[in-house]
Amino acid sequence: MVMLPKIAVLTFLLSSSALAASDCLPIGDAKRHVGENKCVTGKVFRVKAGAKGVHFVDFCEDQASCPFTVVVFPSDLKDVGDVRRLAGHVIEIHGPVKLYDGRAEIILNRVSQLTGGSTLIPPLPKNYDVEKQGHYSAGRMRPTKKPAKVKAAPSTSATYGNEADVSEEPPQ
């Protein structure tokens, strides 16, 4: 049995993980691969909930000038999990690179598109409300702000107009 020095084993492990990471493109190169099925890697700066529950995984402080973004639609959150936990982590995402508003993006619709430590994101809480963008509902009913106007049914014994002045006894 051949014994390798510990340094040789460590070097091999580091180089093999570097080769696996080299298959992924940095976010700046993603735009050159629009229409291709690629792996893109980068450190998530923040995860922001947009209009109607769409989540954007941003890799830059200024989202408008960032060359790449990941989009998660509300209907896919149940399959992906709590993407808000990706903030601050380096992720690798696999999928077709698309062009939207001049920027490259990948739509994340299943957790298997993520590799590395980012696959450990927890599922969404069962009471997560996408439309309220991160607010949780315990399921209790809240009264409306204005009570509904209820029209009273007309009374058959009500008196109207001059009838109220007429008394039941004849005048004397």
User: Given a cut of 80, is residue 125 above it in pLDDT?
Assistant: no
**H-state helical runs in the chain:** 6-22, 77-80
Residue 126: the pLDDT is: 58
Average pLDDT, the chain: 74
H/E run at residue 8: helix 6-22
Check residue 121 and report its DSSP letter: P
Diameter of the chain by CA atoms? 134
The Cα–Cα gap between 170 and 153 comes to 32
Q: What topology does CATH give the domain 23-131?
A: OB fold (Dihydrolipoamide Acetyltransferase, E2P) (2.40.50)
Does the pLDDT at position 112 exceed 80?
yes
Which residue intervals of 23-158 are DSSP H helices? Answer: 77-80
If pLDDT is split at 50, 70 and 90, which confidence band does 81 have?
confident
**Bridge-based pairing state of the strands 68-72 and 103-107:** parallel
Domain locations in the chain as residue ranges: 23-131
